[in-house]
Amino acid sequence: MKKGNWVPISKALAGYLPKDRAYTELEAAFCMQVDYDHGTSVTILGYSNLWGWSRKRVARFLMEMDVTIVYPENTVKKRKQRGHIAPHKGDMKGTIKGHKRFIDFRCLDNGGNIKGTTTEHKRNIRRPTTRDPNPKTNNKNRKISLPNDYNLSEKHIQYARSKGIEDPLDDIFEEFSIYHRKKGSEYVDWYAAWQSWCRNHLKFRARQEDMTSQRPKEITPEDAEDLYAN
């Protein structure tokens, strides 16, 4: 670290991660660093779908990066949980040539001055990034990709339950996130997008139930005798 074994990179570059092909290891590492910095809830299955990898490869890559996913409860007792990325501490096990592959930016000092910068430059660093170079753009009405730290909240749960959705919401929210990340969707209001997803979920379920009810009834031997008798 003291000799410069890592370099800073803007999180704004997450918008350039691939949506139509599998991630490279470099892209997967960057994605995971951003999720860690944002405190995003993650799963092995979620990364498998997002990166286009097998779950076994994802698990092996986490070991190579010297990180783990910490879940709220023991996974033996409760499955299908979302956890948070946590770097291993201490003996640097799993590193390459003694160098950490995963940087714990939360442990770095955020205070102090930035050498060689002016007050104006430091102020610009704190400003939010934007893809639109036009300074007149109204950010409130700007469409954005699904934020990395956009998680299932009580507000999302209450809306889904108010619409009568009884299915596991963790799975539905994960499908919602994976679909829009792969498609590269952009919305002004992602909560409104979740509301639309819930309504469409109900329509799809009702259509499935209707198709099931319209399937031809299986003719039993007794039914066949009655038909031939007539």
Residue pair 105/9 in contact (Cβ under 8 Å)? The answer is: no
Asked if residue 52 is part of any domain, the answer here is: yes
Q: Select from 125, 160, 193 the last residue of a domain.
A: 125
Non-local CB neighbours of 66 within 8 Å, separated by 6+ positions: 87, 88, 92, 93, 94, 95, 100, 101, 102
Which pTM does this prediction carry?
Answer: 0.44
- Looking at the 3D structure of the chain, how many domains does it have? 2
Q: Mark whether 195 and 113 lie in a shared domain.
A: no
Q: Mark whether 121 and 15 lie in a shared domain.
A: yes
Q: Mark whether 174 and 121 lie in a shared domain.
A: no
Q: Mark whether 109 and 29 lie in a shared domain.
A: yes
Place of tokens 């108010």: 162
Q: Mark whether 112 and 149 lie in a shared domain.
A: no
Asked if residue 220 is part of any domain, the answer here is: no
What is the torsion angle, in degrees rounded to the nearest 10, for the CA atoms of residue 177, residue 64, residue 33 and residue 193? 0
- Residue 93 CA to its chain's centroid (Å): 27
Asked if residue 76 is part of any domain, the answer here is: yes
Give one word for 87, left, alpha or beta, with left for phi > 0 and alpha for psi -120 to 50: beta
Q: Mark whether 119 and 148 lie in a shared domain.
A: no
CA separation for the pair 217, 205 (Å, rounded): 21
Q: Mark whether 95 and 149 lie in a shared domain.
A: no
Asked if residue 118 is part of any domain, the answer here is: yes
Place of tokens 């003719």: 219
Asked if residue 138 is part of any domain, the answer here is: no
CA separation for the pair 36, 30 (Å, rounded): 10
Residue pair 44/69 in contact (Cβ under 8 Å)? The answer is: yes
- Please spell the DSSP secondary structure of 66-84, one letter per residue: TEEEE-SS-TTTS-S--BE
Please, what are the averages of pLDDT over each run of 10 residues along the chain (230 residues)? Answer: 66 86 91 86 89 92 87 71 74 48 60 47 43 48 89 92 88 92 91 92 82 61 54
Asked if residue 177 is part of any domain, the answer here is: yes
Q: Select from 125, 156, 171 the last residue of a domain.
A: 125
- What's the domain range around 187? 144-213
Residue pair 178/46 in contact (Cβ under 8 Å)? The answer is: yes
Q: Select from 77, 98, 125 the last residue of a domain.
A: 125
Q: Mark whether 103 and 73 lie in a shared domain.
A: yes
User: How far is the CA of 119 from the CAs of 111, 113, 116, 124, 192, in angstroms?
Assistant: 14, 10, 10, 9, 39
Q: Mark whether 151 and 87 lie in a shared domain.
A: no
Here the tokens at position 9 are 């990179």
Asked if residue 161 is part of any domain, the answer here is: yes
Burial level of 51, CB count in 10 A (0-12/13-18/19+)? buried
Q: Mark whether 29 and 101 lie in a shared domain.
A: yes
User: How far is the CA of 130 from the CAs of 117, 140, 195, in angstroms?
Assistant: 22, 12, 26
Q: Mark whether 63 and 109 lie in a shared domain.
A: yes
Q: For strands 144-145 and 84-87, give the pairing.
A: unpaired
Asked if residue 222 is part of any domain, the answer here is: no
Q: Mark whether 158 and 109 lie in a shared domain.
A: no
